[in-house]
Amino acid sequence: MNAPLVQITHCQEFAAAHRLHSPKLSGSENAALYGPCNNLHGHNYRFEVTVEGPVDPATGMVMNLNDLAEVMRTAVWQKVDHKNLCQDVPFLNGVITTAENLAIAFWNQISAHQARLDGAKLHRIRVVESPDNFVDYFGGAQ
């Protein structure tokens, strides 16, 4: 088979509170490092999940978008929407809730549902914290 490879992306939004605070640092070190982000505040977060795969000629789809949306809802959205990311989210327990760490944690949450991605491969997680700041994680390490 020689099927075209396409990436599909679905986006969801959630409203959450958080603060940046490292348990390895003192209060003044935290304040110096994170500035105002050391205070409890919040965001309308947007997160995008991109998966890549061949297009099934029978359906015209890489995978069913409704399935992708459902995975995102159950694996991430329901657990973070209208929550304090620093206290209410078991999968973020002990995690400093920077956008970088959220993207990595969301990757792991989505990856645990690989079987529901219908053969498509998780490609990228984007976390948009504010209109001017976002991060991308492709699953790589160095």
Is 82 in the active site? yes
Sign of CA dihedral 59, 74, 104, 37: positive
99 contacts its own copies (rule: CB under 8 A): yes
Find the shortest distance in angstroms from Cβ 115 to its own copies. 19
Return d(Cα 132, Cα 71) in angstroms, integer.
27
For residue 112, state whether it binds its own copies (rule: CB under 8 A): no
In sequence order, the 6+-apart residues with CB closer than 8 A to the CB of 141 are none
Contact status: 114 vs its own copies (CB under 8 A):
no
Looking at the Cβ atoms of 74 and 130, the one nearer to its own copies is 130
Is 129 annotated as catalytic?
A: yes
Contacts of its own copies in 47-76 (CB under 8 A): 50, 54-55, 58-62, 64-66
Best CA proximity match to 23, nearest among 7, 38, 13: 38
Nearer to its own copies, 17 or 113 (CB): 17
> Is 52 noted as a catalytic residue in this protein?
no
Beta carbons within 8 Å of 124's beta carbon, 6+ residues apart: 9, 48, 49, 50, 136, 137, 138
The radius of gyration of the chain from alpha carbons, rounded to an integer in Å, stands at 17
Taking the C-alpha atoms of residue 55 and residue 47, their distance in angstroms, rounded to an integer, is 24
Task: Tell me how far, at minimum, the Cβ of 63 lies from its own copies, in Å.
Answer: 10
Is residue 133 a contact point for its own copies (CB under 8 A)?
A: yes
Q: Could you give the residue numbers annotated as active site?
A: 37, 82, 129
| Binding-site ranges for its own copies (CB under 8 A) | 1-13, 15-18, 20, 22, 24-25, 33, 35-37, 39-44, 50, 54-55, 58-62, 64-66, 81-84, 88, 95-101, 103-104, 130-138, 140-142
